[in-house]
């Protein structure tokens, strides 16, 4: 078997000129369209999506010069890691390039169906407890969400990246609860494990992410896929520091919708306490 892995990008091997059978071409086209999800999708899941036998996915990877599908996944994961290394903005007009991408994100964000947001707000209002989690770059988004929502309703709990190893923090989780998980590429393993643990206990999952194949997407009761800034034209990498403008804005919108469902009593009580303890300057 010719080993092309060291000198050829896995994505380049999927090009139309690569000689493949009809089934292998279907697999190649599917992977090319869902390239960033390859490290997350098993051979069985790909086979199910395409209506082929899992062994066809294995043979496809071997045709490309890999030992099997897991070997292809590792190569794709390495390539994606290289692409997501933080890169500086273009030297010319850094600010203009940055704000143009951010504005494009908000334009796309405004297209989210409001009935989907209303369903999430309904779940947040009706839940016995609301658990919020996010790790690494998504941790600030989770912390901001917990901060806003606990000001509107009781029973909002923030679970950090280490929560999986601290079960006493979520032992009470169960049916009637909601877990809101923030996760973006490259998807923290701790968040994925916590999602599996809590959904297995009957907790409904609201997943806020940047791709429909993120870990937990198949278990999500509600899936909110947020747009992310794309690369600047001519840049060799797609890497960016995790952008939080979209999830922060979404969180504030859901807080406002939550107020419309549960009222302002808790907000007003908190304001009175802040005033009595002279916490803020006004």
The reported pLDDT for the residue numbered 128 is: 98
Instruction: Record the tokens describing residue 75, joined without a space.
Output: 């190569």
Highest mean pLDDT among 21-25, 97-101, 234-238: 21-25
Asked whether residue 1 carries a pLDDT value surpassing 80, the answer given is no
The reported pLDDT for the residue numbered 90 is: 58
Cα torsion angle, 215, 16, 74, 84, sign: negative
Q: Kindly give the residue spans of alpha helices, DSSP state H, lying in the chain.
A: 22-33, 43-50, 54-63, 69-83, 94-109, 114-126, 139-150, 189-200, 245-262, 265-276
Question: CA angle at residue 232 from 230 to 237, to 5 degrees?
Answer: 80
The reported pLDDT for the residue numbered 3 is: 46
Instruction: Record the tokens describing residue 71, joined without a space.
Output: 């070997």
Q: Please enumerate in sequence order all residues whose Cβ is within 8 A of that of 255, keeping only pairs 6 or more positions apart, or say none.
A: 148, 149, 151, 152
The reported pLDDT for the residue numbered 173 is: 97
The reported pLDDT for the residue numbered 91 is: 57
Question: CA angle at residue 20 from 19 to 23, to 5 degrees?
Answer: 165
Would you tell me how many other CB atoms lie within 10 Å of the CB of residue 42? Answer: 13
For the residues 232-261, what does the mean pLDDT come to? Answer: 79
Locate tokens 């794709």: which residue? 76
Chain-centroid distance, C-alpha 32 = 20
Would you tell me how many other CB atoms lie within 10 Å of the CB of residue 107? Answer: 10
* pLDDT per position as a tens digit, 2-54: 444 444 677 676 777 678 888 988 998 888 887 777 888 889 989 988 999 99
The reported pLDDT for the residue numbered 152 is: 97
Mean pLDDT of the chain: 86
Asked whether residue 279 carries a pLDDT value surpassing 60, the answer given is yes
Helix 139-150 / helix 245-262 crossing angle, nearest 10 deg: 20
- Between CA 52 and CA 26 the distance in angstroms is 10
- Between CA 64 and CA 73 the distance in angstroms is 12
Q: Higher confidence at residue 104 or residue 118?
A: 118
- Distances in whole angstroms, Cα of residue 157 to Cα of each of 150, 171, 271, 282: 8, 12, 20, 28
Asked whether residue 223 carries a pLDDT value surpassing 90, the answer given is yes
The reported pLDDT for the residue numbered 5 is: 44
Q: Please enumerate in sequence order all residues whose Cβ is within 8 A of that of 19, keeping only pairs 6 or more positions apart, or say none.
A: none
* pLDDT per position as a tens digit, 150-196: 999 999 999 998 898 899 999 999 999 999 999 988 788 899 999 99
């Amino acid at each position: 078997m010719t080993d092309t892995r060291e000198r050829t990008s896995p994505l380049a091997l999927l090009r139309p000129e690569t000689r493949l059978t009809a089934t292998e071409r279907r697999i190649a086209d599917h992977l090319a369209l869902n390239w960033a999800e390859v490290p997350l999708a098993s051979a069985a899941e790909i086979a199910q999506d395409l209506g082929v036998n899992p062994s066809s996915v294995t043979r496809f990877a071997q045709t490309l010069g890999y030992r099997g599908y897991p070997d292809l996944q590792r190569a794709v994961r390495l390539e994606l890691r290289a692409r997501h290394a933080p890169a500086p903005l273009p030297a010319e007009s850094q600010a203009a390039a940055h704000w143009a991408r951010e504005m494009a994100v908000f334009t796309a964000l405004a297209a989210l169906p409001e009935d989907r947001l209303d369903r999430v707000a309904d779940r947040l209002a009706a839940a016995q407890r609301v658990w919020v989690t996010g790790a690494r770059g998504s941790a600030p988004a989770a912390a901001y969400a917990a901060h806003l929502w606990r000001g509107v309703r009781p029973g909002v709990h923030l679970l950090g990246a280490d929560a999986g190893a601290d079960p006493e923090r979520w032992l009470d989780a169960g049916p009637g609860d909601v877990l809101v998980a923030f996760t973006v590429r490259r998807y923290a393993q701790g968040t994925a494990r916590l999602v599996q643990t809590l959904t297995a206990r009957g907790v409904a999952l609201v997943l806020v992410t940047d791709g429909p194949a993120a870990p937990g997407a198949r278990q999500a009761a509600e899936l909110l896929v947020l747009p992310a800034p794309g690369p600047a034209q001519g840049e060799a990498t797609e890497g960016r520091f995790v952008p939080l403008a979209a999830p922060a804005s979404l969180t504030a919108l859901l807080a406002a919708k939550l107020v419309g469902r549960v009222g302002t009593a808790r907000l007003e009580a908190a304001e009175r306490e802040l005033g009595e303890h002279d916490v803020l300057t006004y």
